[in-house]
Amino acid sequence: MVGDPDDEMLSWDESVFRDEHVFEIDHVPETFQHRETQLEGLKYALRPAVRGSRPLNTVVRGPPGTGKTTAVQKLFTELRVQTDVRTVHVNCQVDSTRYAVFSRLFEGIFDYEPPSSGVSFKKLFSQVTDRLVEEDEVLVVALDDINYLFYENEASDSLYSLLRAHEAHSGARIGVIVVSSDLSLDVIENLDSRVQSVFRPDEVYFPTYSVDEIRDILSERAKRGFYEGVVSPPELDRVADLTANSGDLRVGIDLLRRAGLSAEMRASKEIDEEDIEEAYQKSKHVHLSRSLRGLSDSEQALARVLAEHSGEQAGDVYEAFHEETDLGYTRYSEIINKLDQLGVLEAEYAEVDGRGRSRQLELAYETDAVLDRLDGN
């Protein structure tokens, strides 16, 4: 670290961070630990693409924060650098319709976005596949967080178009990696029968990291991201324990960054236990933040209404939502189901006097935690 090592206080031009980018959630680390088996499974599925054939389709499953996206991105980088295989990573939380998925494929192949309107899906599809045939290229598509395509009832159509591309356009070679963090979602079972008949994927499972594995990974991040001595072994152990309790490695990565920022606020060269405990109160909601950030305006509006009416009957919540947005019950019901699948709310049926069975809606998180994240805090 810059400055006198005997001085316990940071000066204005000093930082505890050697490289703060190391603690960004989407950072792909140089060293990817404790996922050798999963990487080998993915390499096996992708190997035919290197030989010019269609790769094996694959379903990648596992709880949030277990390295699924990082593994795919790491292998895609290797393929782009070392081979002629085309790779496109689609974040389905952002691109949650078939047209949006193929717009992302178009951008990945042509290096510019298609027109935002006036181009039919059929034409977009043809331009993508025609270019693959012309260039004699194999395309591997990762549909990351495919559960969002299911939430919008777009998964079957999207996969059907990709899997049948070689029939509609002779010579097109496309393989699909489907990534899901929703363990309650049976990808195959929830697809249309026409897709099930052609989708016979391999499966690669990413289990939750053990506390020792978490410590190894966070120790490596800390070594690359902080200056020496910023985080001590006991503090790192505490971060690892809190991360293991959450089951999500992203909590620990975010926690280290926030704890570092907290130490800097105190002008301290070292992270202490109070920095960690304070940071954890925000970092433990990494999954909630990510879920809410991907919602549309009307979906966020319902989340806000739920925060104000948590524990009330579905009909009462709808009345408040309709007054806020003027949207009808069908759209309301669709959003309720989506928020339920995302784990933002819990919907339970209960007997109501004079009204039979009714759903009672309750937030799965503290009201303040939801409102803070909707307000961008």
As a whole number, the mean pLDDT across the chain is: 92
The secondary structure of 262-294 as a DSSP string is: HHHHTTBSS--HHHHHHHHHHHTTHHHHHHHHT
The answer as to CATH 3.40.50.300 being correct for domain 36-205 is yes
**pLDDT given at position 311:** 87
| Domain segments of the chain as ranges | 36-205, 209-284, 295-374
Structure tokens at 315: 């009909």
* 80-130 tens-digit pLDDT: 999 999 999 999 999 999 999 999 999 999 999 998 888 999 999 999 999
CATH topology of domain 295-374: Arc Repressor Mutant, subunit A (1.10.10)
Where would I find the beta strands (DSSP E) of 119-233? Answer: 138-144, 173-180, 202-205
Where would I find the beta strands (DSSP E) of 160-228? Answer: 173-180, 202-205
pLDDT band (50, 70, 90) for residue 3: very low
Residues in Cβ contact with 350 at an 8 Å cutoff, skipping those fewer than 6 apart: 357, 358, 359, 360
CATH topology of domain 209-284: Helicase, Ruva Protein; domain 3 (1.10.8)
* 327-358 tens-digit pLDDT: 999 999 999 989 988 889 988 776 665 556 67
| Region 145-149 average pLDDT | 95
**Is residue 1 predicted with pLDDT exceeding 50?**
no
> pTM for the whole thing?
0.89
